[in-house]
Structures are given as C-alpha cells and as structure tokens.
Amino acid sequence: MTRKPIFDALRKLLGRQLDRTDVAVMDAACDAAGLPKEAEAPKPARRRVGAAGIALMHKWEGCARKLPDGRYKAYPDPGSADGKPWTIGWGSTGPGIGPDTIWTQQQCDDRFENDIIAYADEVSNAIGDAPTSQNQFDALVSFHYNTGAIGKATLTKRHKAGDHDGAAREFARWVNNDGKPMQGLRNRRADEAALYMRADA
C-alpha cells in the first residue's frame, strides 16, 4: 500500500487541497504506520550525441583560419552582410568571440564538447519522449547547432508526430543566410537528412 489513496481521500473529505501543515502531519502519521513513500519517477537518461553526429558537425564546422603557430583565429560569417556572428573553432559563436579572438586547438575542442552537451539537452527537451533513433537525434542536434531553431521548426513538429519522411524533407527548407540560399547549407542539410533517415547500426 502507498500513501496516495490516503492523501486523496483526505483531500476529498476536507473538500480542499492539502497545505504544508496537513502534508507534514499526514507524512508523520504514515511514517509511524510504516507506509512507504511514493517512489519518484526515474529521470530519463541524458542523451548524448553519437560518433556519426560528431563527425557530421566536424565536417561542416571544420576549424578554419589556422595560424602559422597552430592556433585558430575567428572569422566572420561568410553569408551575412555584417559578418556576424564571428565564429571560431568547431563553429563556436557568442559573447567574447570577435575579430581578435584566437584559440588553441584544445580550446576549440573543449568549447565544442561543452556546447554539444547543451545543444543535445535542448533537442531532448524539444522532442520530449518521441521515439528517436541515435542517428535521428544526431541529425537533429547538428541541425540545431547550426540554426538554433529546434524549438520552432516544423521539422521538430513532424518528428514528434512520427512523420519521419516529412521531417526529413524539412531539412531542405533551412538553406538561407540573410535571406539568400547558400550551397554550403544545401549540402549540409542534405547530409543531415541522410543521417536522419539512416538506420542505426
């Protein structure tokens, strides 16, 4: 026996929700009677990006602007009119990254590893408990890493609805930068769609 039926019956008897004092008194009584506490729902395991996803992102976010001493210099966005956002390493952007930013390879690698954890968490939150293969997850993280759009994209809605063919077609809609289509983005979206539809090994 668990405590929930007792608490539910008390709420019904009192005709109201239980306040903190009520709950404390009831918990103490249940403890004295040896009734077990409600088991907490297990937290879902944190999803991680797999090797295929990392390889795909490294392909499209390759460290560029390598200096003679082996370090890397930030570069402007090639498709935006104002050069923003400035990018360095494996596609890292954000505060503190500008024309004078220079990182070592280790800094590039460390930032990427930290960033993909955050992006993977955001994708997990966006897709919820929708059935998702590892390759699908990796493709969605790559898409989000590049666009930041997992929370608003129709792609996400189609995936959650189980329309995987429709979701795969949605990748091709995200090929513009500053309103202009870019061949590099077309190619990346094609790679992401192919990974999304690839059966897990």
User: Which residues are annotated as catalytic?
Assistant: 61
Q: What is the rounded CA–CA span in Å between residue 196 and residue 190? A: 10
Q: Are 79 and 177 in contact (CB under 8 A)?
A: yes
Q: Which bin fits 76, alpha (ψ -120 to 50), beta or left (φ > 0)?
A: beta
Give yes or no for a contact between 124 and 95, defined as CB atoms under 8 angstroms apart: no
- Nearest CA to 58 among 126, 112, 114, 14? 112
- Let me know: does 112 contact 90? Beta carbons within 8 Å: yes
Chain position carrying tokens 């026996």: 1
Q: Which amino acid is it at 25? A: V
- Single-letter amino acid code for the residue at 201: A
Q: What's the sign of the alpha-carbon dihedral 81, 85, 86, 92?
A: negative
